[in-house]
Amino acid sequence: MLIVLASTVSLVANEPAQTNRDLKWTGDLEAAWNSAREKQRPLLLFVTMDGCVHCQRMKLTTLRDKGVQQDLEKEFVPVTLNAKDRPELVKRLRLRLFPTVVVIQPNGTVMESITGYQSPKQLREKLSATLRQASRETSAATKR
């Protein structure tokens, strides 16, 4: 996973650097990956596809929700990518449906892959559950 992430470093040409005006998104995977490791926060990939109605709907609704934005800003390093610009990463992560939200720990472990449109409530609940599970796993590993 680390090799795939390290090898996909150029900017995404057809995705805006910000999905909305409040939360700062990046298309620079290398910079985001470095930031995630530095901050010890999970990387959150929002992977879209050209012409994807549900991707646009999620950008216009869910990702503009203040609660979602606060959660993402506080807990994650958010990245938006277009699947056509990252075919090797899409293949490696086995992504087939869009949009997909992929959460990756700073050590490169994929924590969660959430496919399809998610309402703000659904996304917040799934991300919260992912963070709780990661916390439990970290706590259990520390006790060993």
Dist. CA 55–CA 144, nearest whole Å: 42
Task: Answer whether the bond into residue 99 is a cis peptide, omega within 30°.
Answer: yes
Element (H, E) at 2: helix 2-7
Instruction: Give pLDDT tens digits for 72-111.
Output: 999 999 999 999 999 999 999 999 999 999 999 999 999 9
pLDDT score at 144:
63
Q: Where are the domains of the chain?
A: 2-138
> What is the CATH number assigned to the segment(s) 2-138?
3.40.30.10
- Give 84's DSSP letter: G
Q: What is the pLDDT of residue 3?
A: 42
Alpha helix (H) residue ranges in 46-119? 53-60, 66-75, 87-93
Q: Which two tokens stand for residue 27?
A: 């298309």
Taking the model in full, what pTM does it have? 0.81
pLDDT averaged over every residue in the chain: 85
